[in-house]
């Protein structure tokens, strides 16, 4: 039986707020320091932290697919329907809580899959293959677009997708810092950190980056692959009302904190948090309110298990039970490191990290 929101808050709570890790892009506009440059913004930021601390925004997931860590507001959702998507308007992401991780599940899983050093044709075909294999396990993932996208320039609006290889590069460049934060985040989970596994991830990502033919695709090309994967899995699973969705986001980035949630089947409700801010600050436009990134750590673990179990792409050989634990360790380290490297790429490093476990 699904947990009630009261039961969820009783079992998942804020256990620690980690000071800002510091690793990031100084030029980024996604910055707690920059947002809090005015008294009003500083007051709103502090009030939002009180909302976060209360735990009342930790809720059961309303859907089984996932979305991105992005803190902006959803204004449209595209649902798969035969060979196209039907777009519907939504109200402030109301009753639309899904698991969240960088770029959505297929983008994070691509980073995991590449870290395993599998035979590859292209990242786009790998995404479609991942989607097909996940569908057989009953796992479906989403993505997002938004106002900052430009098909002409190959941009979707999703930083984790558009800057996918820049993120891998930063994972490699800041491997010590990324490894340290990955180790810290794993401490709150049922899994443990292994430096030799982390070294393997970085080494294989380096090899991937050297494959010029493989890494040519843009964010738009990867999004098209995700769309293809979602439509195909919807066709293959007609009994599932909606396997996954693609959200369209509005407004600009005002994220000032990162919530990392370990509560299985739960997430942090952006809609609840936003509503409380709007009630407290009725004269402030929605686009000017502070925001929060959200990472559901349990979802990274779930997808790492799925990637570890996937058969060989070329031969179709099934994975033995002896293989899966090591493959899971590699996929998990890569998945967590990708979240950390995304933070380091998209923010200036000034966002504190709230741990819910």
pLDDT of 277-293, one tens digit each? 999 999 999 999 999 99
- Region 349-356: mean pLDDT is 98
Task: Give the chain's mean pLDDT.
Answer: 94
What is the arrangement of strands in the sheet containing 255-261, beginning at the earlier edge strand?
A: 14-18, 353-356, 255-261, 291-296
Q: pTM for the whole thing?
A: 0.95
Identify the helix (H) or strand (E) that includes residue 205: helix 195-209
* CA–CA distance, 329 with 196 (Å, rounded to integer): 10
Confidence band for 90, pLDDT divided at 50, 70 and 90? confident
Q: What is the pLDDT of residue 8?
A: 55
Residue 322, Cβ density class (10 Å: 0-12 exposed, 13-18 middle, ≥19 buried):
exposed
Confidence band for 7, pLDDT divided at 50, 70 and 90? low
* CA–CA distance, 106 with 161 (Å, rounded to integer): 10
List Cβ<8 Å contacts ≥24 apart for 276-284: 276/51, 277/44, 277/47, 277/48, 277/51, 280/44, 280/47, 281/44, 284/40, 284/44
pLDDT: which is higher, 11 or 106: 106
* CA–CA distance, 273 with 295 (Å, rounded to integer): 15
Q: How many domains are there within the chain?
A: 1
What is the arrangement of strands in the sheet containing 73-81, beginning at the earlier edge strand?
A: 84-89, 73-81, 246-250, 143-146
Q: What is the pLDDT of residue 6?
A: 56
- Distances in Å between the alpha carbon of 147 and those of 72, 76, 213, 218, 309? 11, 12, 30, 17, 37
* CA–CA distance, 341 with 173 (Å, rounded to integer): 10
* Strand ranges for 163-302 from DSSP E: 246-250, 255-261, 266-268, 291-296
Token look-up 């039970």 returns 321
pLDDT of 41-73, one tens digit each? 999 999 999 999 999 999 999 999 999 999 999
- Print the domain residue range for 198: 5-356
- Region 124-130: mean pLDDT is 95
In three-state secondary structure terms, 249 is strand
End-to-end CA distance of the chain: 20
- Distances in Å between the alpha carbon of 174 and those of 34, 113, 135, 213, 351? 23, 20, 34, 25, 17
310: number of CA atoms within 13 Å, CB side?
A: 31
Confidence band for 120, pLDDT divided at 50, 70 and 90? confident
Q: What is the pLDDT of residue 352?
A: 98
- pLDDT of 10 > 70? The answer is no
- Distances in Å between the alpha carbon of 95 and those of 3, 147, 156, 271? 16, 23, 25, 8
- pLDDT of 202 > 90? The answer is yes
Q: What is the pLDDT of residue 264?
A: 97
* CA–CA distance, 12 with 356 (Å, rounded to integer): 6
Among 26-30, 230-234, 310-314, 326-330, where is mean pLDDT lowest? Answer: 310-314
Token look-up 């959702």 returns 77
Confidence band for 152, pLDDT divided at 50, 70 and 90? confident
Q: What is the pLDDT of residue 3?
A: 57
DSSP string, 109-148: HHHHHHHTT---S-HHHHHHHHHHHHHHTT----EEEETT
Please choose, from the candidates 165, 293, 170, 300, the residue with its C-alpha nearest in 3D space to the C-alpha of residue 219.
165
Q: What are the φ/ψ torsions at residue 311 (nearest 5 degrees)?
A: -70, 165
- Token readout for 244 is 């996954």
pLDDT of 297-352, one tens digit each? 999 999 999 999 999 988 899 999 999 999 999 999 999 999 999 999 999 999 99
How do beta strands 266-268 and 58-60 pair?
A: antiparallel
In three-state secondary structure terms, 68 is coil
> 198 and 204 in contact (C-beta within 8 Å)?
no
């Amino acid at each position: 039986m699904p947990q009630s929101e009261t039961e969820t808050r009783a079992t998942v709570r804020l256990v620690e707020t980690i000071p800002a890790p510091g690793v990031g892009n100084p030029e980024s506009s996604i910055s707690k320091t920059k947002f809090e440059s005015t008294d009003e913004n500083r007051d709103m930021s502090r009030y939002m932290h009180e909302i976060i601390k209360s735990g009342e925004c930790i809720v059961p997931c309303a859907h089984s697919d996932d979305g991105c860590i992005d803190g902006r507001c959803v204004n449209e959702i595209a649902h798969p329907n035969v060979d196209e998507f039907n777009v519907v308007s939504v109200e402030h992401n109301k009753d639309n809580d899904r698991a969240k991780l960088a770029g959505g599940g297929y983008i994070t899983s691509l980073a995991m899959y590449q870290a395993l050093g599998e035979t590859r044709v292209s990242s786009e075909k790998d995404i479609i293959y991942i989607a097909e294999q996940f569908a057989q396990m009953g796992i479906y993932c989403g993505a997002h677009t938004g106002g900052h996208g430009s098909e002409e320039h190959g941009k979707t609006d999703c930083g984790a997708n558009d800057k996918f290889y820049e993120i891998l590069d930063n994972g490699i460049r800041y491997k010590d810092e990324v490894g340290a934060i990955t180790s810290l985040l794993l401490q709150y989970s049922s899994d443990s950190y292994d430096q030799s596994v982390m070294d393997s991830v970085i080494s294989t990502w380096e090899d991937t980056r050297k494959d010029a033919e493989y890494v040519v695709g843009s964010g738009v090309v990867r999004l098209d692959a995700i769309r293809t994967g979602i439509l195909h899995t919807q066709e293959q699973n007609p009994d599932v009302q909606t396997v996954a969705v693609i959200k369209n986001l509005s407004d600009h980035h005002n994220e000032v904190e990162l919530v990392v949630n370990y509560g299985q089947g739960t997430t942090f409700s952006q809609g609840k948090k936003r509503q409380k801010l709007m009630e407290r600050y009725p004269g402030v436009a929605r686009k000017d309110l502070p925001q929060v990134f959200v990472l559901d750590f349990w979802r990274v673990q779930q997808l790492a298990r799925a990637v570890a179990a996937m058969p060989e792409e070329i031969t179709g050989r099934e994975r033995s039970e002896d293989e899966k634990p090591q493959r899971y360790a590699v996929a998990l380290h890569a998945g967590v490191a990708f979240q950390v490297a995304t933070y380091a790429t998209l923010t200036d490093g000034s966002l504190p990290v709230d741990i819910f476990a």
